[in-house]
Amino acid sequence: MELRDVGYVIGDLARLGLVMARKVVTQSLADERAVLPQMVGELVGRIHPRRMQVRVAEIREETFTTKTFRLTPLDEPFPPFRAGQFVNLFVAVDGVRTSRPYTISSSPTRRAYIDITVRKMVNGFVSQYLCDRAAVGDQFELSDPAGCFYHDPIVDTGQLVFLAGGCGITPFMSMIRTEADARAGTGGCSGDPPAARGPGGSASHY
Ligand SMILES: Cc1cc2nc3c(=O)[nH]c(=O)nc-3n(C[C@H](O)[C@H](O)[C@H](O)COP(=O)(O)OP(=O)(O)OC[C@H]3O[C@@H](n4cnc5c(N)ncnc54)[C@H](O)[C@@H]3O)c2cc1C
């Protein structure tokens, strides 16, 4: 055995020793704090966003290049979110599975649906697919809402000025709708107030 190989063996043994020592320390900490494996699983589940199955319930043309997609849940109700947060939308376009983040443009006070407002980008892979080919009834997958660009009434002032360009307006649409709901006293969490319901029971709130 050459000197270099002896070095490798010593290195491997040292690494193994470190791993085992770390395992012993982790186990003793876990014992001390009575951390059960299922508690760790639950915590990881809470930290990592879940996936939600949704259906396109309505499509509204906002401008020549922009559409709003109203998404309703297929299984569980939507989780709470804050105005300004986004979801990741998972799509399969011609066999290519990918995702893009889109800000929720509806208000969190309307929990029966989530609106996303998508601007068609020149040669944009997903935005072109959504604006040109997605239809009512299509099903997609969403991540849980995420992001920290939101108004926090506890630390932020109540007087707000919004500056946005293009589809950057979407978080402000959500914030303004939330405020409008609060002022109108319609900020329930279960869905739309009766006044906002359309003839077929569908909700319109823009
Ligand atoms: C937090 C967050 C929130 C967002 N919210 C919204 C929202 O509310 N509404 C909204 O419309 N968008 C939003 N976006 C942007 C959105 O996620 C997508 O990036 C957008 O829709 C474009 O995706 P795409 O697949 O259509 O374009 P892509 O295919 O990803 O391309 C993006 C641009 O790059 C160009 N491009 C692509 N490939 C090349 C190349 N090889 N060489 C040169 N140029 C190239 C395309 O022409 C296009 O203009 C948000 C993004 C983030 C991060």
**CB of 93 shorter than 6 A to ligand 1:** no
Task: Using the mean position of ligand 1's atoms as its centre, give its distance from the Cα of residue 49 in Å.
Answer: 22
Q: Model pTM? A: 0.75
**Of 172, 173, 120, 171, nearest to 147 (Cα)?**
171
**CB of 91 shorter than 6 A to ligand 1:** no
Span 93-113, pLDDT tens digits: 999 999 999 999 999 999 899
**Of 170, 188, 190, nearest to 113 (Cα)?**
190
Is residue 56 helix, strand or coil?
Answer: strand
- pLDDT for 48 equals 61
pLDDT-above-70 percentage for the chain: 82
Q: List Cα–Cα distances, 118 to 5, 49, 94, 102, in angstroms.
A: 59, 22, 19, 7
pLDDT-above-90 percentage for the chain: 54
- pLDDT for 33 equals 67
Span 40-93, pLDDT tens digits: 877 776 666 588 999 999 999 999 999 999 999 998 889 999 999 999 999 999
Q: Residue 35: is its pLDDT beyond 90?
A: no
Task: Using the mean position of ligand 1's atoms as its centre, give its distance from the Cα of residue 93 in Å.
Answer: 15
For residues 190 and 112, the answer to whether their CB atoms sit within 8 Å is yes
For residues 143 and 87, the answer to whether their CB atoms sit within 8 Å is yes
Residue nearest to atom 42 of ligand 1 (CA): 123
